[in-house]
């Protein structure tokens, strides 16, 4: 089981020092499948730090391009989350009936047309999903038209039936702020701009992630679809609030460990979208936390990351 801890480290580290680390653990804790928790935490932290340093040491692309790529991935995830249940049901031809996301009828699938509602060809959530998969594989030229279709769908949500008008009236993702629905164009336009920047650059320079990074996405779709969790569920909001805070802490840790500013870009992009949603729709806030607390949680990481990067650089120069 100790080998699972090595997954926190980059492949280059595992090939060079993986066997040595496993031997040290076996010698220090003979007969134990896992080291004690006091050892697991620093091991995982060291592995994540090694991954961050490996990213920075890779000079195949400028830091700002990698930052824009990370921002586009974060925005694609943010756009996909409200429709996890929707896409899962559509893919498996499951009619959720009364558990549908913000729909009054079960006839929102082409194979289950109900009275008084128009069928649609595709669920809106397929667009950010295509964006996410394409960006993960470094194919910005595929992600760009999907992001542009998100902008079009959001701008024509009262008239277009390709993705179904009800789908874009649906409940948005709350997390650290007000709901962000498909017809809130700030998210889709920002994602489209990021994809355009990546597409203009040589796509061969973009980082390519393994398909195994999609396993958490499939798992989230399964959980949302099977347990009928929607964006207004308290469990949904608390869980994603925790994940967002964990992501902010990870960005700070990576910046503090490397002194690199690339993680500032995705944090700034998400903070911009979140703050815009709160300012534009103050009545849409779910009051799971005071608005001021949420704004502080969104804005405070930006100077914190900048200070962490500067301190690391100053320490490197002093050393």
Domain boundaries, the chain: 1-57, 61-229, 232-318
Rounded Cα gap, residues 21 and 5, in angstroms? 10
Give the pLDDT of residue 246.
Answer: 83
- At residue 107, the pLDDT reads 43
Amino acid 232: pLDDT: 65
264-267 contact pairs (CB < 8 A, 24+): 264/67, 264/302, 264/305, 264/306, 264/309, 265/64, 265/67, 265/68, 265/70, 265/71, 266/67, 266/70, 266/71, 266/73, 266/74, 267/301, 267/302, 267/305
Which portions of the chain are predicted below pLDDT 50?
Answer: 102-108, 111-114, 165-171
Q: Give Cβ neighbours of residue 248 (< 8 Å, ≥ 6 apart).
A: 267, 297, 301
Query: pLDDT of 1-17, one tens digit each?
Result: 566 667 777 777 777 77
pLDDT value of residue 166: 44
Q: What is the pTM of this model?
A: 0.80
Q: What is the Cα–Cα distance from 206 to 61, expressed in whole angstroms?
A: 7
pLDDT at residue 296, rounded to an integer? 73
What pLDDT score was predicted for residue 114? Answer: 47
SS3 helix, strand, coil % of the chain, rounded to 5?
Answer: 70, 0, 30
What is the reported pLDDT for 144? 95
pLDDT value of position 191: 95
């Amino acid at each position: 089981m100790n080998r699972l801890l090595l997954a926190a480290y980059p492949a280059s580290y595992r090939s060079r020092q993986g066997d040595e680390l496993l031997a040290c653990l076996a010698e220090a804790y003979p007969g134990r499948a896992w080291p004690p928790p006091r050892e697991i935490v620093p091991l995982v932290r060291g592995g994540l730090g090694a991954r961050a340093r490996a990213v920075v040491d890779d000079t195949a692309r400028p830091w700002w391009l990698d930052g824009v790529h990370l921002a586009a991935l974060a925005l694609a995830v943010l756009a996909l989350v409200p429709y996890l249940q929707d896409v899962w049901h559509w893919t498996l031809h499951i009619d959720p009936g009364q558990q549908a996301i913000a729909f009054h009828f079960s006839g929102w699938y082409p194979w289950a047309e109900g009275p008084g509602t128009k069928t649609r060809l595709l669920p809106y959530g397929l667009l950010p999903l295509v964006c996410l998969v394409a960006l993960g594989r470094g194919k910005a030229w595929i992600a760009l038209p999907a992001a542009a279709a998100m902008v079009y769908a959001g701008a024509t949500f009262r008239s277009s039936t390709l993705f179904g008008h009800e789908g874009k009236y649906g409940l948005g993702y709350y997390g650290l702020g007000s709901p962000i629905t498909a017809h809130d164009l700030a998210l889709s336009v920002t994602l489209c701009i990021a994809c355009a920047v990546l597409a203009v650059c040589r796509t061969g320079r973009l980082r390519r992630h393994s398909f195994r990074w999609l396993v958490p996405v499939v798992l989230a779709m399964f959980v949302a679809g099977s347990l009928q969790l929607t964006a207004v569920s308290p469990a949904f909001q608390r869980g994603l609030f925790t994940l967002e805070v964990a992501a902010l802490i990870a960005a700070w840790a990576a910046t503090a460990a490397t002194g690199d500013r690339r993680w500032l870009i995705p944090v700034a992009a998400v903070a911009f979208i979140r703050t815009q949603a709160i300012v534009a729709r103050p009545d849409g806030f779910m009051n799971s936390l005071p608005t001021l607390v949420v704004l502080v949680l969104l804005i405070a990481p930006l100077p914190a990351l900048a200070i962490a990067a500067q301190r690391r650089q100053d320490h490197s120069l002093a050393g």
